[in-house]
Amino acid sequence: NNVKYYSVDNAGNTEQVLTLEPINLDQTRPGINIEGLESESYLDDETVTVNYTVSDNISGVNNSSVVALLDGQPIVNGTVIPLYKLSLGKHVLTVSTVDQAGNPASATRSFKTSTGISSLIQLVNLFQTNGSINNDGIAYSLLQKLKNNDLKSFINEVKAQTNKHISSEAASYLLRDAEYLLK
């Protein structure tokens, strides 16, 4: 919009017409683009990187208003998520913001995590590599049980080795997945 104006004084003198700089009215919501969660389903031995961009070409983004939540908890842009650390099932990432003109925007990405024998094998390998399983014989034994689809023996061995040769954190993930598969 252009605004033109002039004034007239009490003596009837009229000034020349002046023009204000164009006034842009921003009625457009900011844009939000979520990357790194392209699939609707992941195995829990995978990792994803949460990336999002927020843009507004008219009034600009109010950067202090940008909020990203994964399952209701704040998450920082660029965070790498080992999916075994999330519960099995549905998850929701929501990014919201407001532009400088007060227009709100929100984007949501839903995905689910699941497990399988292949995921458990990958997790045993990961936990052996990072030292959460600190005995190669135990790791080998667990892998053999998984390859034979012997989940009950796998569970019993994980329980027996928890806080001995398997960290309690690693054991909790392995037990969760194995018990889920038994159901």
- Number of other residues whose CB lies within 10 A of the CB of residue 120: 27
pLDDT score recorded for residue 121: 98
Residue 165 pLDDT exceeds 90: yes
* Residue whose C-alpha is closest to residue 68's, from 50, 85, 84: 50
Distance separating alpha carbons of residues 178 and 174, to the nearest angstrom? 6
Residue 135 pLDDT exceeds 70: yes
For residue 172, name the pLDDT band (cuts at 50, 70, 90): very high
* Stated pTM of the model: 0.81
Q: Would you tell me the crossing angle of helices 151-161 and 168-182 to the nearest 10 degrees?
A: 160
Residue with tokens 């984007």: 107
Residue 90 pLDDT exceeds 70: yes
Pairing between β-strand 104-114 and β-strand 41-43 as defined by DSSP bridges: parallel
- Number of other residues whose CB lies within 10 A of the CB of residue 71: 13
